[in-house]
Each structure stands twice: as structure tokens, then as C-alpha cells.
């Protein structure tokens, strides 16, 4: 999966979205929200939507058969990308739907009153709200693991909190706000020691590091295509084959059935059991093209480049006495910060005037904001197309913003 480095060429040339309408460079530092798309992905989706397009799994004509082969090949590619089997990958609308699928299928079938779910303080709302809804429906309880002083999930605290009443542990593999990386293998050991399953939210992990679900020893892994330089509207749930086999369907309709009568319906085997209706055909093919693109660039090269940018930006921000930087020093491509007396929304608006795009807000992590004691943070997040020029533009914009607010440079 780790191909030789290609960062020596100008990867930005592959991304048509990295320029303004006037043709000026756009300093896009919001990749953690959604990544820009390379031409290779755009072209793969255009071909699938154009000259190659047909339905899948139904047609007896040759183009439908060809598209079915391409769609299932995309499933195999995504499975390979995370080290799973193709019968263990369910295509969903994204990681949010994948978590809801687990909650409403596995969760409702396996949790009962008095059972417990363990989350962490840094989770995205998508890894909080579905479990709250499930807990309310079945009478389960939720426990929350605190963070360490450098803003990682405190696994020592998790170990002391876990009991045999815990049925599920659901953690972010990488925090979307702090960039902190979970020791996922240890989390799996702790969960399995008390008989609980481990679900990992891998949205921020798969764009930055190689993932092998067998090595991680998790039970569920969810991620979205659009954060992996692919299209919106599609993501994936990986789950162990034996777990999927035992899970009841969540949604009913076409494609997920074996035999339908008014007296009784029987269901297809996984993963089709969980893919009711016409699937996101063109998106799946583009998803696979995105995985190919990232693999061709190589995680080693990406990690080296992103680490250099994170290190420099953190160093420059820490040197400003009115700036608080959150998260660990080795954050995975994400730097969140706050400037005294300047709301992140104001900073983001002024930066936009200089063609610099950051995220400003609570980042769908309001409990984490409460924990950090701030209403919002500014977040710069890097991708494989990010450069030193992006950091220069951000720092220049921060200097300009501080001047506007009457602060010394």
C-alpha cells in the first residue's frame, strides 16, 4: 500500500479545486471537513456516470453485467484498503450512516436494560448521538472517558471504567478536532477483556495512515469517501464477517432480499443484506479510484510532508503569547487553536479575504468544546496537496487579523 514517494511532483496540479475562479491559489486548510478531489477521481466518476453507466445486480444485458463487476471490484478495493474481506464491507452514505447501522442493527439486537456503552470526551457528534438514541431505546447507559493532559483518549482511565456490563466501546481512531491518534490495539484489548465490541471511527485516520483492521483487532470500522479525496454520499462499514452474518437488516427494500411474499420475507447474505435500494454506483467506483490515488502517493511520503507542516505551524502559533494550541504535538494533520479576544468565526472570515480556508466552530464536537473551556476553535487541517505556502498564507492572515483587532504583531 505504501508506494514510493511521489510528493516530488506537484500534486496540487491534480486538484482543480485548489484555485479560485480568478485563477489565484486557494489555500485550502479544511481537509478534515472534506478533501479536495483529484482529476483521477473526477474522471473515474464521470466515466461511470457517462459511457459506462448502467444499473447493477439486475440487468441481463452486457453493460449492466460490466457495471456490476466494476461495482463489486470497488468493494474489493475498499476492503483491501483497510485489510478486510470484500464480504465484510457494506457501502453506506458515509460514516454517520455506518454508525447508525451498527446502532440500529447490532445494537438493538444485543443491548438490553442495564448494559453500558463507553465513549470518549473527544468524539464527533456522529459517534455520540446514535448511541444516545440507542441507549434511550433499550435502557442502556453511556460512560465517557476523559482525556490525558495532551488531549488523547485516556486508556488508563478507560481500563478502570470498563466492566462486564459494557457491551460496546466506540472511539475515534483520530480526533477530528485535536488530531490525536488512538492506541487502537490497546483499546481493542481493553474492550475484549470485558467481552465488549470495539467500533472505531476512522474518518480522520484513513487519509493519513495505513489501516489494517486485522492488526487493530477492532470489530467495526467506519469511514467516509469524501475525506479520502473521494466523492460525498458514500462511505463504508467494515465489520467482522461473523458479526455481520448475525446482524438483522436495518432498512428494507430491493436488493437486500432473498425471497419476498406477503406472508414472509427472507433476506440476502451480508453485505447485500444491508444495502437496500439502488446503490451509489458511480460513487463507489470513484471511492475505489480515491483509494488507488492515495496508495499511489504513499502514506510514508504523505506522513512526512504533513508532519513537517504540523510541526512548523504549531511552533509558530505557540510562539504567539495570546494563542492556545490544542492537541498533541504529533497530531495527524490537524492543528486546532484559539486566539485571545478573536472569535474563530472572525478569524475565518478575515482569512477568507486572502484566499485562506480554515474551519471555525465546534467541529461537531460540542462536548469536547465544553471540556476545553472554549465555545469554538479555529482548525487548520492538511492534506496531501498542502504546502509551506499554505502555512505562510495562514500565518500572514493571522498577523493581519491581530492588527485589525488592535493586537501587537
Phi and psi at 337, nearest 5°, equal -155, 165
Helix (H, G, I), strand (E, B) or coil at 58: coil
How far is Cα of residue 101 from the mean position of the Cα atoms in its chain?
Answer: 16
Give catalytic status of residue 364 as yes or no. Answer: yes
Residue 10 φ/ψ region, left for φ over 0, alpha for ψ in the -120 to 50 degree band, beta for the rest? beta
φ and ψ at residue 406, rounded to 5 degrees: 75, 25
The catalytically annotated residue of 46, 65, 157, 364 is: 364
Question: Which candidate, 235, 195, 267, places its Cα nearest to that of 89?
Answer: 235
How far, in Å, CA of 318 to CA of 142, rounded? 36
Distance in angstroms (rounded) separating the CA atoms of residues 384 and 35 = 9
Return d(Cα 272, Cα 152) in angstroms, integer.
37
Collect all residues with Cβ–Cβ distance below 8 Å to 165 and sequence separation of at least 6. 114, 115, 116
Alpha-carbon torsion (224, 228, 234, 240), positive or negative = negative
Please list the active-site residues. 364
Amino acid at each position: 500500500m505504501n508506494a514510493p514517494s511521489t510528493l516530488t511532483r506537484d500534486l496540487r496540479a491534480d486538484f482543480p479545486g485548489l484555485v479560485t475562479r480568478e485563477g489565484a491559489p486557494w489555500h485550502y486548510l479544511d481537509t478534515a471537513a472534506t478533501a479536495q478531489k483529484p482529476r483521477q477521481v473526477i474522471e473515474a466518476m464521470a466515466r461511470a456516470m457517462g459511457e459506462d453507466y448502467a444499473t447493477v445486480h439486475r440487468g441481463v444485458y452486457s453493460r449492466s453485467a460490466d457495471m456490476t463487476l466494476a461495482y463489486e471490484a470497488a468493494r474489493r478495493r475498499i476492503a483491501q484498503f483497510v485489510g478486510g474481506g470484500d464480504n465484510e464491507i457494506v457501502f453506506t452514505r458515509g460514516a454517520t450512516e455506518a454508525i447508525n447501522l451498527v446502532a440500529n442493527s447490532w445494537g438493538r439486537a444485543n443491548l438490553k436494560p442495564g448494559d453500558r456503552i463507553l465513549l470518549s470526551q473527544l468524539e464527533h457528534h456522529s459517534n455520540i448521538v446514535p448511541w444516545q438514541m440507542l441507549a434511550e431505546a433499550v435502557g442502556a447507559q453511556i460512560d465517557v472517558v476523559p482525556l490525558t493532559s495532551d488531549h488523547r483518549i485516556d486508556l488508563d482511565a478507560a481500563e478502570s471504567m470498563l466492566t462486564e456490563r459494557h457491551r460496546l466501546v466506540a472511539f475515534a481512531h483520530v480526533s477530528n478536532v485535536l488530531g490525536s491518534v488512538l492506541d487502537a490495539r490497546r483499546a481493542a484489548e481493553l474492550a475484549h477483556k470485558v467481552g465488549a465490541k470495539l467500533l472505531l471511527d476512522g474518518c480522520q485516520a484513513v487519509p493519513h495512515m495505513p489501516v489494517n483492521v486485522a492488526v487493530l483487532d477492532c470489530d467495526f470500522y467506519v469511514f467516509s469517501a469524501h475525506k479520502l479525496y473521494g466523492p460525498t454520499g458514500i462511505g463504508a462499514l467494515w465489520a467482522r464477517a461473523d458479526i455481520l452474518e448475525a446482524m438483522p437488516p436495518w432498512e428494507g427494500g430491493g436488493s437486500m432480499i432473498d425471497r419476498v411474499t406477503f406472508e414472509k420475507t427472507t433476506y440476502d447474505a451480508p453485505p447485500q443484506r444491508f444495502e437496500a435500494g439502488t446503490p451509489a454506483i458511480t460513487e463507489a467506483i470513484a471511492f475505489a479510484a480515491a483509494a488507488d490515488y492515495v496508495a499511489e502517493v504513499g502514506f510514508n511520503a504523505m506522513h512526512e510532508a504533513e508532519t513537517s507542516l504540523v510541526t512548523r505551524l504549531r511552533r509558530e502559533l505557540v510562539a504567539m503569547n495570546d494563542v492556545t494550541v490544542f492537541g498533541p504535538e504529533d497530531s495527524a494533520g490537524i492543528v486546532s487553536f484559539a486566539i485571545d479576544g478573536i472569535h474563530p468565526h472572525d478569524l475565518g472570515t478575515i482569512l477568507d479575504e486572502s484566499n485562506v480556508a480554515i474551519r471555525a466552530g465546534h467541529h461537531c464536537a460540542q462536548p469536547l468544546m465544553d471540556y476545553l473551556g472554549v465555545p469554538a476553535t479555529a482548525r487548520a487541517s492538511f492534506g496531501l496537496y498542502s504546502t509551506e505556502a499554505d502555512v505562510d498564507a495562514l500565518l500572514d492572515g493571522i498577523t493581519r487579523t491581530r492588527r485589525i483587532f488592535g493586537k501587537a504583531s
